[in-house]
């Protein structure tokens, strides 16, 4: 127990150090980009005196480490700065957009788990059969090899040209109600989840195939247990750790993919907000959205690591799940 607590504390400290490092990298990278705050607010024709007055007002003439600590102090209080372009609070803009990205990600994750895990179990159990093995390879190959922007463009064209039962566009806001929001986000969520379904199916299939060759499965077969009982009580439980570990990677992919999907489907989420900020050189927006995404990913990875160690204490001892 002491070793598990020590390992968990180490993971928490590691997560905090990672977030600190990410914040430093983001802050420095933004400061090194061409086109500073003065150029965006005042324009390229502003006089040196105007630039100096603005830099003095916003502390831009301070050493970079002073600027960093001032910024990180604001972040810790929930204030992520002011948009260079609109002069509005970035925190307020993000709060309005987080529900869209959150619901899109949750829906894509639900599709991933509801399709990817059962498909992986089925193909893993039937890996010796020609049909099961072929289906697994086909689904994995197609899902992993087709880029999101290509698939999304094809889907938008098909569903906008033909009445295929799913809605393209028309998203207003979360406040319009659950069902209109669900309809508007369903197609983007399906496109976003394709790669994750394929990756989850492949990981689940490999985990299931690994469990099926273990001695206790052979013993269960010898005891006369049914195939369904073996899958439910032995295979799923033992293959669950690799799937749980994969969730962190899937979430990172979904957050990254949301940038493309929200832009393609014109959704007012964090991804499209960041793309708009990049296009406008609104580095306060880019800085805040990247830091938020990194914080979500690091926090979720930490939570999944702690859950994994609770389910399988061997993780804290050896650094990997046992079989």
In whole angstroms, give the CA distance from residue 256 to residue 146. Answer: 16
DSSP 87-135: -SBHHHHHHHHHHHHHHHHHHHHHHIIIIIHHHHHHHHHTTTSHHHHHH
In whole angstroms, give the CA distance from residue 240 to residue 307. Answer: 12
In whole angstroms, give the CA distance from residue 290 to residue 305. Answer: 22
Q: Which CATH superfamily is domain 93-313 in?
A: MetI-like (1.10.3720.10)
pLDDT in tens, the chain (323 residues): 677 778 788 888 998 999 999 999 988 888 777 666 666 666 666 677 877 787 777 777 788 888 888 889 888 888 888 887 788 889 999 998 999 999 999 999 999 999 988 888 888 877 665 565 666 677 677 777 888 878 888 888 888 777 666 667 666 666 667 777 888 888 899 999 999 998 888 888 888 888 777 787 778 778 877 777 777 777 777 777 777 778 888 888 888 888 899 988 888 889 999 998 888 888 888 889 999 988 988 888 888 888 877 776 765 555 555 54
> What are the strands, taking DSSP E only, across 216-304?
none
Q: Which residues contact 9 (CB under 8 A, 6 or more apart)?
A: none
Positive or negative CA dihedral for 135, 139, 145, 151? positive
In whole angstroms, give the CA distance from residue 257 to residue 253. Answer: 6
Closest CA to 257 of 292, 288, 293: 293
Question: Is-contact 142 198, C-beta < 8 A?
Answer: yes
DSSP 180-211: HHHHHHHHHHHHHHHHHHHHHHHHHHHHHHHH
Q: Which pLDDT tens digit goes with each residue over 82-99?
A: 887 788 889 999 998 999
pLDDT at residue 24 in the model: 92
pLDDT at residue 37 in the model: 66
In whole angstroms, give the CA distance from residue 217 to residue 174. Answer: 48
Per-domain residue ranges for the chain? Answer: 2-76, 93-313
Residue 89 pairs in a beta bridge with: 82
Distances (CA, A) of 292 to 70, 147, 251: 18, 25, 14
Closest CA to 259 of 282, 278, 280: 278
Token couple for 171: 């998203």
Q: Which pLDDT tens digit goes with each residue over 21-40?
A: 999 998 888 877 766 666 66
pLDDT at residue 102 in the model: 92
pLDDT at residue 133 in the model: 60
CA atoms within 13 A on the CB side of 250: 30
Closest CA to 289 of 275, 304, 308: 275
Question: Is-contact 196 250, C-beta < 8 A?
Answer: yes
Note every long-range contact of 159-167, with CB atoms under 8 Å and residues 24 or more positions apart, other chains counting: 159/187, 166/190
- Mapped onto helix, strand or coil, the DSSP state of residue 273 is helix
Distances (CA, A) of 245 to 215, 234, 255, 258: 24, 18, 17, 21
pLDDT at residue 53 in the model: 80
Token couple for 183: 């309809």
């Amino acid at each position: 127990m002491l070793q598990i607590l020590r390992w968990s504390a180490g993971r928490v400290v590691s997560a905090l150090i990672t977030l600190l490092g990410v914040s430093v990298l983001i802050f420095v990278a933004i400061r090194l980009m061409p086109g500073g705050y003065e150029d965006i607010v005042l324009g390229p024709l502003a006089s040196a005196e105007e630039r100096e007055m603005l830099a003095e007002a916003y502390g831009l003439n301070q050493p970079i480490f002073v600027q960093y600590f001032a910024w990180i102090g604001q972040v810790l209080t929930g204030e992520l700065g002011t948009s260079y372009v609109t002069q509005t609070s970035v925190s307020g803009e993000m709060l309005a957009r987080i529900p869209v990205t959150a619901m899109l990600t949750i829906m894509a994750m639900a599709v991933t788990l509801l399709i990817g895990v059962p498909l992986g179990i089925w193909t893993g159990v039937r890996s010796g059969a020609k049909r099961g093995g072929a289906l697994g390879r086909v689904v994995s190959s197609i899902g992993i090899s087709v880029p999101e922007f290509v698939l999304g463009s094809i889907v938008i064209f098909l569903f906008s040209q033909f009445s295929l039962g799913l809605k393209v566009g028309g998203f207003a806001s979360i406040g319009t109600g659950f069902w209109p929001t669900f309809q508007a986000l369903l197609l983007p969520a399906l496109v976003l989840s394709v790669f994750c379904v394929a990756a989850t199916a492949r990981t689940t299939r490999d985990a299931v195939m690994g469990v099926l060759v273990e001695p206790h499965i052979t013993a269960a077969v010898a005891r006369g247990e049914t195939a369904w009982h073996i899958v439910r009580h032995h295979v799923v439980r033992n293959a669950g750790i690799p799937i749980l570990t994969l969730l962190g990677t899937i979430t990172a992919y979904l957050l990254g993919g949301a940038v493309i999907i929200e832009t393609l489907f014109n959704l007012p989420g964090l991804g499209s907000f960041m793309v708009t900020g990049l296009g406008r050189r609104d580095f306060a927006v880019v800085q805040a959205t990247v830091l938020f995404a990194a914080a979500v990913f690091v926090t979720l990875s930490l939570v999944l690591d702690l859950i994994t160690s609770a389910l399988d204490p061997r993780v804290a001892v050896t650094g990997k799940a046992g079989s």
